[in-house]
Each structure stands twice: as C-alpha cells, then as structure tokens.
C-alpha cells in the first residue's frame, strides 16, 4: 500500500503528496479522502491531483487521513502562538481608491507588528484593496478561503525599493542587475521562518492601471514591481493560495535559502508582458511542487543574476539545488527555463513528473557571450508535453540586451575564452514524451569556444506531430533556420542519445 507523504503542515493547513505510480500533476482518476479528528466532524473530499491541500485545520490537533487505496496516515497540526484578524479594514473599495488602500495597508502593518513570535495574521473572506505590505520573520499570513488581497491599480505613492541597501547589497533589481523598483504588493526582506498560506488570492492588479504598457521602461525612477518579492529570506513556505495579474514577474525569490512552494495557482493572461510564474534567483534549496502555471511568459525561470555592462559582478551569487515536481505548465513561453540571467552560475536543477501543455518550449537554457557563469547538472525526467512547440532548447547565442545582435555575440567563429564565456554541461533527459510537436524535439546551439557538453538523452518518445505547425526557428539567435517536425539537432554540442534515429545531421544555422 502507498502512504501519503506530508510536504508541509502548519497550524491551519497541510499539503501532502499522493504517491500514485506514474502520476504527474493529475491523478489517473479521482480518489476519495476522509479527514478525522477526535471531537470534530469528519471531512470528506475527492482528490484530482497528486498534491492534496487541506485547510481550516484546528491548531495543535491530531488528525488521521484516509485516502482511497492508500494506508492511513496520522499527523498533528502545529500549535499557534496567537492569531489576529486586522480590525477596521475597508472592504470592497475600488482598485484606484488610494485612501482605502493606504488605510488597509496601515491596518495590516499594525496587526503584523502586534503579532507574537510564530503568530498568525488571518485575512478574512472579502476583497481588500491594499497598498504594498512588508512581512516579517516568524509569522504566518493566512489567506482565508474567499479572501483577496488586491494591490491598487494606481501607482501614485507606491514605495520604491532602492537598488542596494545601506551595506551595498542588492535590494531592488531588474533582470539580474541592481535597480530601483517599485515594492511588490506583498514583500519581505531578510525574513526567516515565514509562511504564506490559505486558499485565498493575491491579485497584483497588473491588468489595470498602466503596468503592462511599459514592460522594459523606468517610470517615476523605478522598474515595475513583482507580485510577491522575497529578498534575502530563509525557511519560507508558500502553500495553497492563488496569485495572479502581477505587474511583472509573479513570484520572485531573490537570494533566498530553503524555500518550499506547494499547491499554488499562478495566473496571468497569455499576452501580459514578462509575467513569469516563479523565478528563483541566486537561491539555494528550493522545492516547487504541485503548482499550476498559466502565465504570459516563462512558467519557471531559474536565474543567477547578470553581469553589468562593464563586467560588474559584486552582486552575483549562484543558484543551486532546485527541485520541481508534479507541476502543471498550461501555457507560457517556457516550462522550465534557465537564464538568460545566469552569470552567478546555476547548478543541480531537476524537473520531474510534470505536465506541460501549450508552452512554446519545454526545457530551455539560454545565455550568451558576455554573461560568464556556468550551467551544470540539469535534469528532466518523466515529463509529458502536449502541444509544446520545441521540447528542448539550449541556446548560447541568445540575442538579449541592446547588443544581442552584435557580431561578437552572434559570430559562429571561436572567440577568446575568458571569465565572460558561459559554459553549459551535464544535461540529462529521460522518459520524456512529446505529442503535437511543432518545430523540433531538441535544438542545442553552443559556442565554438565552449561547446555544450555531456548531454544525455534516454527514452525520448515523439508520439505525434502538430499538422498545423508553421516552420519557425526554435532558438532566439541570429541565422537559425525555420524548422517543422524535426527531431534532435546539435551545433557545437556533444549529444548522446539512445535512439540514433532521432539525431539529425541537418544544420541549425543558415547563412
């Protein structure tokens, strides 16, 4: 018999993995469950996904959970050091009502300040328009079912995070560089043991106001805010909530250690600019599980900062040990993306037991000359892709930044090797299935002075092709030819595949 695996248990919520054989994000069929506790009425439900979320738990209570076809499991909810509900909030205000937004933010800030160590702030059901709020260490923010924490659509008087703090450390950022940016509607700086949980919603109001009309600009001296920005935090748990309509990246952990995100819903319109789902940058030990993504850019983008235009690197750090399991990427530019900001180095990243539907690319690694850094130890295992245009794209000639099309970036002749030469090695692809493939199963475009090394592909299966596919370049680099229904192509890359019929001798680059 299988046994549910607890992933996170707090005073009022829990997330468990249902270890059904061969299940990815969805279960093969729904499974009934029963939750019991002495003195409380039994609760019943049906699980349709591998990640089971339980909310409205009673603190410090022993529970038994029985899931159809599995062993019974017992667990105990955590004790609560004290709970507060903000008093005097204004409910249902218009999103451009700045007076109400500031009032609600002040009220929540006062409640956070009054919380005891380990205490819980409960946001009740209702629509709460609220100016940006900072969270602190040793607290739980519980978003009750039906609660919506809504950022104002008008950016007047929004706080701005400076590019660096008083010690010179990167605080505000934009695309891997220190930069003044508007504070996220919900943010935390150097917080430890922070939990954000519940079945409520965080809404960044990016669809209102003017946030999405200036994606690459600076206005009022700052870049666009994130939906949830965690800077220099450690031991963070994000569980169960929905977050949508971020002004730019949706969840951005920056310089964080030991972060667990489980059972989230991350949403943005397909045409919203740079609304990546979850972007761990210069982070260590990140676990992402049971998350559903439907966004306007990359679903998950693993990053490690970017060298400045003059080689500035004092803000950089590596990203290491990222695990993505049982997630669903329904739409986006890429499923799991590494880069293009990777100058600090990205190492030991694995995506396993996931589903991708309608993303432009599945696994994507992108960098270019001038970035430096290394990407190593990347694995994709047991992933099913449907309607993904290019399954695997590894591109060392990515034409980002104003000089991205310059000859020194795009030249296919060897360049001198130095500390600004990026390196990519150690990519493992196993048990991946592709249906509705449009452009290519894989395109590996390396640098002649630093070829992509140690690519191993085992049991890659192409089930069907997209008959309506239009020939399109699979990599964003100059002189890449359009492709349609092609298998694995490599230029300046060492690829070992167990099915030789998938390896193409056709060129990637055209004159």
Residues 6 or more apart whose Cβ sits within 8 Å of residue 288: 261, 262, 278, 300, 322, 323, 324, 325, 327
**Catalytic entry in 333, 347, 399, 439:** 333
Q: How far is CA 372 from CA 255, 367, 417, in A?
A: 19, 9, 10
Look up 333 and say whether it is catalytic: yes
Q: Is 95 in contact with 205 (CB distance < 8 Å)?
A: yes
User: Is 257 noted as a catalytic residue in this protein?
Assistant: no
* Among 207, 276, 297, 298, the one annotated catalytic: 297
Q: Name the residue among 169, 160, 276 with its Cα closest to residue 222.
A: 160
Beta strands in 326-463 (DSSP E): 328-329, 332-339, 346-357, 359-366, 374-386, 390-395, 423-435, 440-445, 452-462
Q: To which residue do tokens 């983008």 refer?
A: 301
Greatest CA separation for the chain: 75
Phi, psi of 502, rounded to the nearest 5 degrees: -85, -15
Element (H, E) at 73: strand 73-76
DSSP 114: H
Whole-Å CA distances, 224 to 171, 185, 233, 244, 478: 14, 11, 21, 15, 29
Instruction: Tell me how far apart the alpha carbons of residues 349 and 286 are, in angstroms, rounded to a whole number.
Output: 10
Please give the Cα distance from 281 to 320 (Å, whole number): 10
For the annotated catalytic residues, the residue numbers are 297, 333
């Amino acid at each position: 018999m299988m046994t549910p695996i607890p992933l996170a248990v707090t005073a009022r919520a829990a997330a468990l993995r249902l270890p059904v054989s061969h299940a990815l994000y969805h279960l093969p069929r729904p499974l009934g469950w029963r939750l019991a506790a002495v003195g409380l009425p039994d609760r019943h439900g049906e699980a349709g996904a591998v990640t089971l979320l339980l909310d409205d738990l009673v603190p410090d209570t022993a529970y038994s959970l029985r899931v159809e076809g599995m062993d019974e499991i017992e667990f105990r909810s955590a004790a609560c050091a004290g709970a507060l509900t903000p008093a005097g909030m204004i409910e249902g205000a218009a999103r451009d009502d700045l007076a109400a937004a500031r009032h609600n933010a002040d009220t929540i800030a006062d409640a956070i300040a009054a919380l005891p160590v380990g205490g819980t702030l409960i946001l009740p059901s209702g629509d709460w328009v609220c100016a940006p709020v900072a969270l602190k260490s040793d607290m739980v923010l519980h978003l009750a079912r039906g609660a919506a924490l809504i950022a104002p659509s008008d950016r007047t008087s929004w706080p701005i995070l400076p590019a660096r703090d008083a010690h010179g450390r990167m605080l505000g950022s934009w695309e891997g560089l220190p930069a003044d940016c508007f504070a996220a509607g919900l943010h935390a700086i150097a917080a430890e043991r922070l939990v954000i949980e519940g079945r409520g919603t965080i809404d960044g109001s990016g669809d209102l106001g003017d946030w999405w009309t200036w994606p690459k600009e600076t206005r009022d001296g700052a870049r666009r805010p994130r939906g949830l920005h965690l800077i220099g935090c450690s031991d963070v748990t994000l569980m169960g909530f929905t977050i949508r309509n971020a002004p730019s990246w949706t969840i951005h952990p920056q310089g964080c250690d030991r972060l667990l995100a489980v059972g989230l819903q991350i949403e943005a319109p397909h045409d919203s600019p740079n609304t990546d789902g979850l972007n761990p940058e210069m982070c260590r030990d990140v676990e992402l599980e049971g998350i559903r993504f439907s966004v306007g850019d990359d679903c998950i983008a693993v990053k490690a900062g970017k060298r400045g235009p003059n080689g500035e690197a004092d803000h950089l750090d590596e990203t290491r040990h990222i695990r993505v399991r049982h997630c669903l990427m329904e739409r986006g530019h890429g499923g799991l993306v590494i880069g293009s900001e990777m100058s600090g180095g990205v190492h030991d990243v694995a995506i396993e037991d996931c589903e991708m539907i309608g993303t432009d690319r599945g696994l994507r690694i992108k960098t270019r000359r001038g970035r430096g850094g290394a990407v190593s130890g990347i694995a994709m295992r047991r992933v099913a892709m449907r309607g993904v245009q290019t399954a695997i794209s590894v591109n060392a000639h990515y034409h980002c930044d104003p000089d991205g099309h310059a000859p020194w970036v795009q030249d296919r002749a060897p360049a001198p090797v130095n500390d600004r030469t990026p390196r990519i090695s150690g990519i493992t692809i196993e048990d991946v299935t592709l249906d509705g493939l449009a452009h290519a199963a894989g395109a590996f475009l390396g640098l002649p002075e630093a070829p992509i090394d140690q690519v191993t592909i085992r049991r890659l299966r192409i089930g069907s092709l997209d008959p309506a596919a239009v020939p399109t370049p699979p990599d964003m680099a100059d002189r890449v030819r359009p492709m349609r229904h092609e298998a694995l192509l490599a230029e300046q890359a060492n690829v070992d595949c167990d099915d030789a019929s998938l390896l193409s001798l056709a060129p990637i680059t055209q004159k």
